[in-house]
Amino acid sequence: MVRFFAKYKFFGIFLFVLSVIIIIIIYNILNPKERLPVYQPNMVTNELVDSTVQEVRKYHTIADFELYNQNGDTITQEFYNDKIYVADFFFTTCTTICPIMTDHMLQIQEELKNDPEVLLLSHTVIPQADSVPQLKKYAVEKGVNDDKWNLVTGDKKQIYELARKSYLAAKSEGDAGPFDLIHTENFVLVDKKKRIRGFYDGTDPEAIQDLLHDIKVLKKD
């Protein structure tokens, strides 16, 4: 009997290892890892995307930028290196969707206040009115955490190109009054490689819960 087991022990080990591998494969098939899509411009409705990038199908990332936050500090892509962040577009005197969006950004700020991996970034779409002092006033009134959330202003052309060529989150046509860009309610989730991983309705409480869930998924990815 001992001789029998000695003869076939390597075969038994092989069967055991093979069984473990099969069990792992079956488990992964039945319980697939949740992953977020990587959005490309061709996956987004054309009205939100500049015509020069509408056909891009791969390798899309957020372009480099240089803007100024509520404290007058220069904010570039470097500030968000190796960070997950949520971006949106707004203006401080907006009385329609912006107050709701800001309240939801504040909710995200509170939920993730102790998470150094996740930051927030809001771009004004009327930089000629939303100066650094105006952004600071707004930030103080709303309770913005300067370490977590940048409200940025700067060159109008750069901001508009970011909105339509990078974040794919603004319209260029419609009744925009004196301004030629209409921001949307979109919150944009950006990963550590500067890729877009999700769009969320910043006025919808359920969408905010989806966003918070997806941030957790992204952190595990």
Q: Return the pLDDT at 16.
A: 54
Give the Cα separation of 111 and 209 in Å (integer): 10
User: pLDDT grade, residue 5 (50/70/90)?
Assistant: very low
How many residues make up the chain in this entry? 221
User: pLDDT grade, residue 24 (50/70/90)?
Assistant: very low
> What are the tens digits of pLDDT across the range 128-142?
999 999 999 999 999
The model carries a pTM of 0.84
> What is the DSSP-derived secondary structure letter of residue 32?
P
- Find all residues with CB under 8 Å of 141, minimum gap 6, and list them: none
- Going by CATH, does the domain composed of 41-220 fall within 3.40.30.10? yes
Residue 12 has pLDDT above 60, yes or no: no
> What are the tens digits of pLDDT across the range 34-90?
899 999 999 999 999 999 999 999 999 999 999 999 999 999 999 999 999 999 999
85-112 average pLDDT score: 97
The angle subtended at Cα 87 by Cα 187 and Cα 66, nearest 5°, is 155
Give the Cα separation of 26 and 16 in Å (integer): 15
User: pLDDT grade, residue 172 (50/70/90)?
Assistant: confident
Give the Cα separation of 210 and 208 in Å (integer): 5
Mean pLDDT of the chain: 88
- Quick check: 74 and 52 in contact, CB under 8 A? no
Q: So where are the chain's domains?
A: 1-32, 41-220
